[in-house]
Amino acid sequence: MLLAESCPIPGRNGGPPTPDQMNCELPHPTVGLSGPQSPALQPLQPLLLEQGHVSSPLKACHSLQQRRRAEPPPSASTAAIITESGCYVLLQHICDTFSEGVRAQIALPALFGSGFVARRRRRADTLRARRSEPMELAKRGLRERGGAETLQGELEALVQDVVRSSSWWERHGVDCAILALSLLAVPAGFLCLRAENTLVFALGITILGVCHYTLTVKGSHLATHGALTESKRWSRIWELFFVEVCTSFTAEHANYGHVKMHHGYTNVIGLGDSSTWKLPCLNRYVYMFLAPFLIPILTPLVALERLREVAPQTALRTLSLIALGLYSHYWLLLNVSNFRSPATALACMFVTRSLLAHPYLHVNIFQHIGLPMFSPDKKPQRVHMMSLGVLNLPRLPVLDWTFGHSIISCHVEHHFFPRLSDNMCLKVKPVVSQFLQEKQLPYNEDSYLARFRLFLNCYEELMVQTPPITELVGMQ
Ligand SMILES: [Zn+2]
């Protein structure tokens, strides 16, 4: 099993993780611990060591990999996927025996011939060009415009002006109203499921699915960041409601994995590198089309597994709130929607909870993976980390509503100012984008379809191999 399971949660007291704790977090597939068969890190490590880029966690990772080579591989391993959006889902049941069998990429060149290999090489070249472009821009911007801290300060001042001139309705009201509407629509969804008419029944499934994702993704994400209210007490109450009751996950791990690690160390290898989203044992089609269905099933299971790491009273609270959320959903289907058997009620729960699982999984990998990655001991300043390592998608009405602007079209703004609500991220977007463009810093944007194609075409490079470390000389 993973070493992380026996390690304390790093940085739980608010500080950064210690080197030992960082080592505990490392056994992610990204850093080459996918098993003795994985060739990903082997050619990379000597080069990195030679260049002095490898951090102590990566060295630890190397030695761990060597140790694993000497030992027989475990029959199965489990890790959590902590979602980008605050609805911290886990997904990972990697069976080593299964993994080698389904790794279709290995067989593809043999099946499709040398033309296939040449196309794959061209894609890899395109990918490298895409990665180096924003970095060049960032370096130029830094040389020409002064220090990173000054830039960050200037941007914060501009955004603060916008926030100060905004009303409560703009700062919190709009998003609270969307969440309240979603809660109010839930009874209508359950009532629609009583209907014999197929269209009304489908409407009920759609209402419940959309409300589920609005409450679990948008609600959990904003609540975890404390962006719904300025009251600490109410922030905590909303966090427990959205994360534990609605999402069936633990608030403690959601906060630690998303706020502390993902936001604190965006695209830093082994810390906030989105590697928990990678399942290198799956081929591209299984991952992109079938793996999302695992999300509603694995989320509460991983939460249960994580309870071993928290205090008994916290575990009891989390367990009670998760049970309350799941059982009330089931009870309403039996008693309000008049489902006749437990099996059909459970099937309906699964369908509504996986309605938007595909865009949810896709968005979480599209926003960071494939962009510059940094070494823990040479991570760049915040302004460069965020402008290089985060990407915005265009506005998409259904996803804007259910996941929120901070996850879709204002993800860059959200990483710069994580305590702003979705509506405020949308409001400050012109200020942030204009500032970054004026200072010649990258502002990454791409369409959902383009990212989808990129991930399907370059799945091996993006989701299986160890990402190359980007070193910004003079910018750390
Ligand atoms: Zn966030």
Quick: pLDDT tens for 232-242: 999 999 999 99
Supply the Cα-derived Rg of the chain in whole angstroms.
22
How many domains is the chain partitioned into structurally?
Answer: 1
Contact 41, 466 (CB under 8 A): yes
Cα of 217 vs centre of ligand 1, distance in Å, is 10
Integer CA distances (angstroms), 30 to 191, 270, 365, 381, in order:
45, 8, 13, 23
Residue 392 CA to chain centroid, in angstroms? 14
pLDDT at position 56 is: 35
Cα of 417 vs centre of ligand 1, distance in Å, is 9
- Residue environment code for 4-20, b if the CB has 16+ CB neighbours within 10 A, otherwise e: beebebbbeeeeebeee
Indicate if the pLDDT at residue 38 is higher than 50.
no
Indicate if the pLDDT at residue 78 is higher than 70.
no
Cα of 414 vs centre of ligand 1, distance in Å, is 7
Cα of 84 vs centre of ligand 1, distance in Å, is 6
Using CA atoms, how far apart are residues 432 and 416, in angstroms rounded to an integer?
9
Average pLDDT of span 283-295: 94
DSSP-derived secondary structure for 135-190: HHHHHHHHHHH--HHHHHHHHHHHHHHHHHTS-HIIIIIHHHHHHHHHHHHHHHHH
Lowest mean pLDDT among 142-146, 168-172, 227-231, 339-343: 142-146
The angle at the Cα of 250, spanning 331 to 226, to the nearest 5 degrees, equals 105
First vs last Cα of the chain: how many Å apart? 35
Quick: pLDDT tens for 357-383: 999 999 999 999 999 999 888 888 889
- Winning range, highest mean pLDDT, from 120-129, 197-206, 273-282: 197-206
466: number of CA atoms within 13 Å, CB side?
Answer: 27
Average pLDDT of span 297-315: 92
Domain that holds residue 322: 1-476
Average pLDDT of span 29-39: 30
Quick: pLDDT tens for 417-430: 999 999 999 999 99
Cα of 221 vs centre of ligand 1, distance in Å, is 6
On average, the pLDDT of the chain sits at 77
Judge residue 328's burial from the number of C-beta atoms within 10 Å of its C-beta, 0-12 exposed, 13-18 middle, 19 or more buried: exposed
**Strand 391-392 with 444-445, pairing:** parallel
Cα of 52 vs centre of ligand 1, distance in Å, is 32
Cα of 405 vs centre of ligand 1, distance in Å, is 11
Question: How would residue 143 be classed by pLDDT, with cut points 50, 70 and 90?
Answer: low
Cα of 419 vs centre of ligand 1, distance in Å, is 9
Q: Which two tokens mark 280?
A: 């290198």
Percent of the chain beyond pLDDT 70? 68
Average pLDDT of span 33-52: 31
**Strand 76-78 with 93-95, pairing:** antiparallel
Cα of 93 vs centre of ligand 1, distance in Å, is 25
Using CA atoms, how far apart are residues 387 and 148, in angstroms rounded to an integer?
11
Cα of 324 vs centre of ligand 1, distance in Å, is 26
Using CA atoms, how far apart are residues 236 and 372, in angstroms rounded to an integer?
34
pLDDT at position 134 is: 55
Cα of 263 vs centre of ligand 1, distance in Å, is 7
Number of other residues whose CB lies within 10 A of the CB of residue 96: 17
Cα of 240 vs centre of ligand 1, distance in Å, is 16
Question: How would residue 71 be classed by pLDDT, with cut points 50, 70 and 90?
Answer: very low
Indicate if the pLDDT at residue 243 is higher than 60.
yes
Using CA atoms, how far apart are residues 238 and 232, in angstroms rounded to an integer?
10
Indicate if the pLDDT at residue 223 is higher than 50.
yes
Question: How would residue 35 be classed by pLDDT, with cut points 50, 70 and 90?
Answer: very low
Higher pLDDT, residue 69 or 401: 401
Number of other residues whose CB lies within 10 A of the CB of residue 28: 23
Cα of 227 vs centre of ligand 1, distance in Å, is 10
Cα of 377 vs centre of ligand 1, distance in Å, is 23
Cα of 260 vs centre of ligand 1, distance in Å, is 10
Indicate if the pLDDT at residue 42 is higher than 50.
no
Average pLDDT of span 194-222: 96
pLDDT at position 129 is: 58
Indicate if the pLDDT at residue 311 is higher than 90.
yes
Question: How would residue 451 be classed by pLDDT, with cut points 50, 70 and 90?
Answer: very high
Cα of 430 vs centre of ligand 1, distance in Å, is 19
Cα of 192 vs centre of ligand 1, distance in Å, is 34
